[in-house]
Amino acid sequence: MLEPLTLFDFSSESNLSSWYIVNDTVMGGRSDASFEINNEGHGIFKGHVSLENNGGFASIRHQTKTLDISQYSAIKLRVKGDGNRYQLRLQEDNYDRFSYIHYFETTGVWEEITITLKDFEPWFRGRYLQKPNFSGTQLDGLSILVGNKKEQNFQMEIDNILLIN
């Protein structure tokens, strides 16, 4: 059996230099987010999504080196959300302008969320693309986005992100 591949484990990583924030401010919006590691060793993604100036999203992105993930079938996150819906977004190639996305709901308690790789669909700026779903062969990066077409505060704790078979 293939061992899980750890994409990021916040309890063992104290450096978030491979992560960065991308909010709707890139297009004039007013949403605000922060990302840090707390004393318990969890990543904390929190902030406020604003609809001002046609805004409406906040995200964190993790740049990986190009990974061959063809032996894995799913991605698993251990998170403690706030009851909001989030998107997990995968990049197959850094040169692509679109992402493969899948929504997930959080409940307010620690939970493991497993999503099959082939279930990620191609989207660009809120529009579904008529392309095949994620191939599951290569990964160049991932992001977590909150943008539910409403003004809202949000906070999610993240323990780890793994690829599993």
pLDDT in tens, 90-135: 999 989 999 999 999 999 999 999 999 999 999 998 899 999 999 9
What domains can be seen in the chain, in order of their start residue? 5-164 (2.60.120.430)
Distance CA 155, CA 106 (A): 10
Distances (CA, A) of 84 to 20, 107, 110, 122, 139: 21, 8, 14, 22, 26
Q: What pLDDT does residue 21 have?
A: 97
Q: What is the pLDDT of residue 113?
A: 98
What DSSP character marks residue 136?
S
Strand partners, 110: 80
pLDDT of residue 68: 97
Calpha distance 16→86 (Å, rounded): 20
- Low-confidence stretches of the chain (pLDDT beneath 70): none
One DSSP character per residue, 9-49 reads ETTT----TTEEEEEGGGGT---EEEEEE-TTS-EEEEEEE
Ordered strands of the 19-23 beta sheet: 19-23, 58-68, 138-146, 85-91, 99-105, 121-124, 127-128
Which pLDDT does position 12 carry in this prediction?
Answer: 81
